[in-house]
Structure 1
């Protein structure tokens, strides 16, 4: 199905095949294959949850567009666009979402805020996420190439209740960061507070 997508011009000023070529040039093979799997998962979830399939395809493909850019590129954009200066205290894991969305806008011509927010929030989540943002957050986590102890339950929950999937991922991401003494972005905490308590034992 994804190969048949042309894309409406208000979403992105190119065809899917043209976008694929941009991504192939920007990413190493392993990462490129990952974004294709995320796109496929996002399209499946979009069909299930009534979200625009073309938007899901674009966001799924573009979510890691900036993943392999040099740190200097991110820092330049943070300063030039006067983004939150606290971003400078983090690194690629945070930058390729928040700052990567700006690169997708400027370099690929995507101006749809729902798509851009899905890219911005795909690592930290957000207290409020549209269905599309929830789908990209989860598609990145549960795509078929992922293999970690929590992924089977994450897939099951996501198919049953998208919000439960969001809560489950957020809880496990926070536990992982704590276990590894990694810095926690404030938005990850905001996501936890907004999503996890309402699901309680369902996500244990």
Structure 2
């Protein structure tokens, strides 16, 4: 890593409003807790959590330019702009912060959508983003309870809540999220 933890924290904090920074702190702590509980690496999980929303408040023009110029998956441009910050954030983590750990980069890249064959790191950061203490949405307490014993059960419930919200708003559902949910159900024998 080219920058110290403290330097990364300072740089990321400066790119978001205080409320989003509070969310990031919650994801950091929750990622550490989930990593300890489920046998992950707390230090690497925390690093992914610090950087997971680094591009969240960038302009859509700036994110779109990176998606196009860096040949990130073009399908992103066909879906909700709320998804864009994750793959753009992974690009930024590598290019601007010198993060070379593929699992950390992938956890950032897939924290909004999930993916088939999520790694332990992917699961930890994605679930931490759903259940950090500042989150308050219908069903979050159920997701937190499920996360006490199973990353997979917690994530399925999280993806279900996202899909239900998108359905209620007549929004398109990103295919990776459906695929991730189905894969997790299959992993659990369903």
Give me the TM-score of the superposition, normalised by structure 2.
Answer: 0.94
| Secondary structure, counterpart of 1:26 in structure 2 | coil
1:42 to 7, 18, 31: 31
Q: Distance in 2 between matches of 1:78 and 1:58?
A: 23
Q: Displacement, 1:196?
A: 3.3
Give the corresponding residue for 1:52. Answer: 41
1:85 to 74, 92, 98: 74
User: Any stretches of 5+ residues in structure 1 without a counterpart?
Assistant: 1-11
Q: Displacement, 1:104?
A: 1.5
Q: Distance in 2 between matches of 1:68 and 1:196?
A: 33
Q: Displacement, 1:200?
A: 8.5
1:61 to 37, 50, 56: 50
Residues 66-92 of structure 1: per-residue CA shift (max 9 Å, x gap): 000011111111111122222222343
Q: Displacement, 1:132?
A: 0.9
Q: Distance in 2 between matches of 1:192 and 1:131?
A: 15
Give the corresponding residue for 1:14. Answer: 3
Q: Distance in 2 between matches of 1:116 and 1:88?
A: 20
The alignment covers a number of residue pairs equal to 190
Instruction: Please identify runs of 4+ aligned residues in structure 1 that moved more than 6 A.
Output: none
Give the corresponding residue for 2:100. Answer: 111
Give the corresponding residue for 1:178. Answer: 167
Q: Distance in 2 between matches of 1:19 and 1:98?
A: 18
Give the corresponding residue for 2:143. Answer: 154
